[in-house]
């Protein structure tokens, strides 16, 4: 991250005349002025989405970058527009809700009925609001007409990408046969979705919905807290600033209490189908490591690392973590099972005693962690606490060495 911070509008304007801003694309930036020159344009017509995306932004639907999206209009200006493309579930729900509400003669719907349908709309949309280029936005509208889709239907960014013929700085050509095929393949599901939308709209209109708003949600509380934490500058003091506000180690006095008196109880064992379902819905996590992967710390294979989570689902997760490498300024980046990674973080936290060291696991060596872990299938590890007690002293000393970046003799 750049440390660049502007103190005034003048300073900002002066800077972007000669430079570019990482992550943003202002009209006056060097990148955009160069682009204007290369098109011999009289000026630029940017919209908000263009200005707040990076110069190397790429359209999800057509795959083009900005220099291939921009186009001269008939007045000699370079048009630079991106659009927020959305599924219209929210609009349809609202329309049907109003329809059913009025059809009843007596209005029983209230503010919460409307909140209910707004919340339901998220689940009924086929895709999230996504930025696409103006040509893709137009191609969506054209394809809908040409393939005679339902008025309420929108092609997703991925679907748009399938039916367009892409050229630089020109409108897309719509391949109607592909667009029609996508519509006819998806029609059944779309109609099922419309039925659900109507059912929910009616439930809301009849005020038979189940939404009960709280006075304040935990998200609101957290947002306010983040605001205050920033205002006080606490967020600059630590990567986990809220931990500076309370003693996050239970039973003050014994920082090791988290690992004492822990009795291992065998948990549920996943069935074959549990594993297959897990791979189906969490494939990304499962395939992050090879099939024959073994945790380099606890030596468990993938299936043994699968555990039943607090959220009542089977989970496999291999985590990238940083441990102590060969000296104070060289960490070891390694992929461990979830239980080993968590153990490393917790032991690290115990050892650094609130010092500003991140991640706390960088005080541990792999072989030290290995020596204290007693692995269990499908559950958290047990620890050799007597061995750990000695290591914690070493880790604490190492933490001080790292913070003072002096040569560490605590091997």
Query: Which residues contact Zn ion by CB under 5 A?
Result: 59, 61-62, 85, 133, 136, 295, 297-298, 337, 340, 397-398, 401, 408, 410
Residue closer to Zn ion (CB basis): 115 or 410 = 410
Judge whether 43 and 36 are in contact, CB under 8 Å. yes
Assigned token pair, 73: 């209009």
Let me know the angle formed at the C-alpha of 246 by 245 and 251, rounded to the nearest 5 degrees. Answer: 165
Tell me the closest approach of the beta carbon of residue 175 to Zn ion, in angstroms.
15
- Chain-centroid distance of CA 87 in Å reads 20
Tell me the closest approach of the beta carbon of residue 268 to Zn ion, in angstroms.
19
Residue closer to Zn ion (CB basis): 202 or 348 = 348
Residue closer to Zn ion (CB basis): 86 or 198 = 86
Buried b (16+ CB within 10 A) or exposed e, 309-344: eeeeebbbbbbebbbbeeebeebeebbbbbbbbbbb
Tell me the closest approach of the beta carbon of residue 137 to Zn ion, in angstroms.
6
Q: Where are the beta strands (DSSP E) in 338-409?
A: 373-374, 382-383
Tell me the closest approach of the beta carbon of residue 121 to Zn ion, in angstroms.
15
Residue closer to Zn ion (CB basis): 162 or 410 = 410
| Beta bridge partner(s), residue 164 | 174
Tell me the closest approach of the beta carbon of residue 215 to Zn ion, in angstroms.
36
Give the residue carrying structure tokens 């931990």.
243
Residue closer to Zn ion (CB basis): 229 or 336 = 336
- Chain-centroid distance of CA 213 in Å reads 26
Residue closer to Zn ion (CB basis): 59 or 352 = 59
Tell me the closest approach of the beta carbon of residue 259 to Zn ion, in angstroms.
16
Question: Residue 169: enclosing H or E segment and its boundaries?
Answer: none
Question: Residue 58: enclosing H or E segment and its boundaries?
Answer: none
Tell me the residue length of the chain.
Answer: 411
């Amino acid at each position: 991250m750049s440390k660049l911070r502007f103190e005034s509008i003048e300073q900002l304007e002066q800077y972007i005349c000669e430079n570019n801003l990482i992550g943003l694309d202002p009209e006056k930036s060097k990148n955009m002025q160069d682009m204007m020159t290369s098109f011999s344009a009289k000026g630029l017509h940017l919209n908000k989405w263009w200005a707040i995306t990076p110069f190397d932004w790429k359209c999800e639907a057509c795959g083009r970058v900005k220099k291939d999206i921009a186009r001269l209009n008939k007045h000699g200006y370079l048009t630079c527009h991106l659009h927020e493309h959305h599924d219209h579930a929210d609009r349809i729900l609202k329309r049907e809700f109003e329809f059913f509400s009025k059809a009843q003669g007596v209005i029983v719907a209230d503010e919460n009925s409307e909140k209910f349908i707004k919340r339901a709309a998220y689940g009924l949309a086929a895709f999230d609001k996504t930025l696409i280029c103006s040509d893709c936005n137009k191609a969506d509208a054209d394809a809908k007409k040409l393939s005679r889709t339902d008025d309420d239907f929108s092609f997703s960014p991925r679907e748009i990408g399938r039916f367009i013929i892409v050229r630089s700085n020109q409108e897309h050509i719509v391949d109607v046969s592909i667009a029609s095929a996508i519509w006819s393949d998806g029609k059944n599901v779309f109609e099922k979705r419309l039925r659900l939308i109507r059912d929910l709209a009616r439930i809301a209109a009849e005020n038979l919905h189940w939404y009960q708003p709280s006075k304040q949600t935990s998200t609101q509380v957290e947002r306010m807290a983040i605001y205050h934490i920033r205002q006080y500058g606490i967020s600059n003091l630590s990567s986990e600033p809220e931990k500076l506000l309370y003693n996050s180690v239970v039973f003050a006095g014994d920082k090791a209490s988290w690992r004492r008196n822990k009795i291992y109880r065998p948990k549920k064992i996943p069935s074959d189908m549990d594993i297959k379902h897990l791979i189906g819905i969490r494939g990304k996590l499962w395939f992050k490591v090879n099939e024959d992967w073994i945790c380099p710390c606890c030596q468990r294979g993938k299936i043994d690392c699968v555990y039943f989570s607090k959220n009542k689902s089977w989970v496999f997760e291999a985590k990238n973590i940083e441990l102590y490498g060969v000296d104070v300024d060289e960490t070891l980046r390694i992929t461990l099972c979830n239980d080993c990674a968590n153990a490393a973080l917790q032991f690290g936290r115990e050892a650094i005693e609130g010092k500003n060291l991140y991640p706390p696991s960088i005080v541990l060596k792999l072989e030290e962690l290995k020596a204290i872990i007693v692995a269990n299938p499908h559950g958290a590890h047990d620890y050799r606490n007597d061995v750990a007690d000695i290591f914690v002293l070493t880790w604490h000393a190492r933490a001080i060495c790292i913070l003072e970046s002096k040569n560490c003799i605590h091997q």
